[in-house]
Amino acid sequence: MFKPFKGRTVQQGQPVRVYRNLHTGTFSILDAQTNLVLGHASDVMLCHAHFQVREAGRQRVLREKKKNVHAFAVGIYISGDIAWRHTESWDIATYNPYVAGDFLDASTGRPVTGTYLYVYLSGAIARYKGEKSS
* CA angle (83 as vertex; 24, 125 as ends), nearest 5: 55
Write the CA distances from 121 to 6, 20, 51, integer angstroms: 23, 9, 12
pLDDT at 89 over 90: no
pLDDT of residue 86: 72
- What burial class does residue 89 get, using C-beta atoms within 10 Å of its C-beta: 0-12 exposed, 13-18 middle, 19+ buried? exposed
pTM of the model: 0.92
Q: Which helix (H) or strand (E) holds 98?
A: none
In the chain, alpha helices (H) = 55-64
- What is the tens place of the pLDDT at every residue in 119-131? 999 988 999 998 7
Nearest to 33 by CA among 63, 74, 71: 74
Question: How far is Cα 68 from Cα 86, in angstroms, rounded to an integer?
Answer: 32
Q: Helix or strand or coil: residue 63?
A: helix
Segment 47-53 mean pLDDT: 96
Count of structural domains within the chain: 1
Look up residue 87 and give its DSSP letter. Answer: -
- What burial class does residue 23 get, using C-beta atoms within 10 Å of its C-beta: 0-12 exposed, 13-18 middle, 19+ buried? exposed
The residue segments making up the domain with residue 112 are: 3-132
pLDDT at 60 over 60: yes
